[in-house]
Amino acid sequence: MTSLPSGPFTLDAFHDAPRAEVVDLLLACAAVPRWAEEIADARPFADTGALVTAARVAARPWTDDEVLAALARHPRLGERPSGDDAESAMSRREQAALGVPDEASDAPEGASPAVASVATVAEQLSDGNRRYEERFGHVFLLRAAGRSADEVLAILDRRLQNTPDVELRAAAANLREIAVLRLAELVGAPSHVTTHVLDAASGRPAAGVGVVLEALRAEAGGGHAGRGSGCWHGVATATTDDDGRVRDLGPAALHPGTYRVRFATGDWFAARDVDTFYPEVVVVFRVGAPDEPGAGHYHVPLLLSPFAYSTYRGS
């Protein structure tokens, strides 16, 4: 038996580590002992994708008591923990985009707009957390990674309108998502979505194509206008490599929902002095729940020419 390192580690290390260490690691992802023990006892896994899928499936459903006990261990959004344990470190990384320092305070008189803005965000989160806890009796939980402070505040305001039963389900869904994303990060799981762009005219890979992955969300305003009442929000950006591939496009585990990949084909053709009918190619697709048929890795290739393109779900 070998011990797990403090940072990201290989799947072999996860398999070889003592059970107690693996359970402790999983509890840092989500403080649900039954879930942590089930995943630890299911080792070994064929690959990191199988581990992530098993973790997500085992978390559906958690009981209300399990969710409430796990919520009791989570820090409030905007109050980044200072501990040196794995759970605190992951929480700090997830909340980094909110722009709230570890020790937020009121902005001094005459402070710059940026400093004043940070203080305002901290105050709004503190007030929102207080109102939420008074209404529901537990901390407000949301996957903060990749979300701006404005988006988090808008979601908080919307969820304050939920009934207690509906809100507990929303908190449980976010708890599951955070747990799976944390585990995927620790074991270095590959991106849930990848792509490969081929230039059909030359028969060669299309290197240097800009790629953006976006998610359709109904919770908050901002972003690109989407279908119905939803809005598109950025998840990841990348550029195809010399083989025309993007192997790292966002996290290893995406929440079920509607996504799109935007390819900057107009810029790519313009750089080669080639006219094209398509300034941009957009592929919209659905990521299913892990227990749905066909769920798993999503590979979205693009076969490209100046006046035509095709796409499909690859492997």
pLDDT of residue 103: 47
pLDDT of residue 315: 79
Quickly tell me which residue has 């803005």 as its tokens: 117
Spatial CA neighbour of 240 closest among 195, 201, 174 = 195
Architecture of domain 11-186: Orthogonal Bundle (1.10)
pLDDT of residue 79: 80
Helices 113-136, 164-186: axis angle to 10 degrees equals: 120
Q: Where are the domains of the chain?
A: 11-186, 193-311
pLDDT of residue 290: 65
Q: Other C-beta atoms within 10 Å of 212: how many? A: 19
Beta bridge partners, 195, equal: 246
pLDDT of residue 108: 44
Domains 11-186 and 193-311 share a fold: no
Q: Is 143 left (phi over 0), alpha (psi -120 to 50) or beta?
A: beta
pLDDT of residue 164: 96
* From the candidate CATH numbers 2.60.40.180, 2.40.50.1020, 3.30.200.20, 2.60.120.10, the one assigned to the domain spanning 193-311: 2.60.40.180
Q: Count of alpha carbons within 13 Å of 131, Cβ hemisphere only?
A: 14
Q: Per-residue confidence of the chain (315 residues) as pLDDT tens digits? A: 556 655 678 899 999 999 999 999 999 999 999 999 999 999 999 988 889 889 988 988 899 999 999 999 988 888 877 677 777 777 777 777 565 555 444 444 444 344 345 568 889 999 999 999 999 999 999 987 767 788 889 999 999 999 999 999 999 988 998 898 889 888 877 788 999 999 999 999 999 999 999 999 865 444 444 444 578 988 899 999 999 999 888 887 787 889 999 999 999 999 999 999 999 999 999 998 766 666 678 999 999 999 999 999 987
pLDDT of residue 31: 95
Residue 3 identity (one-letter amino acid): S
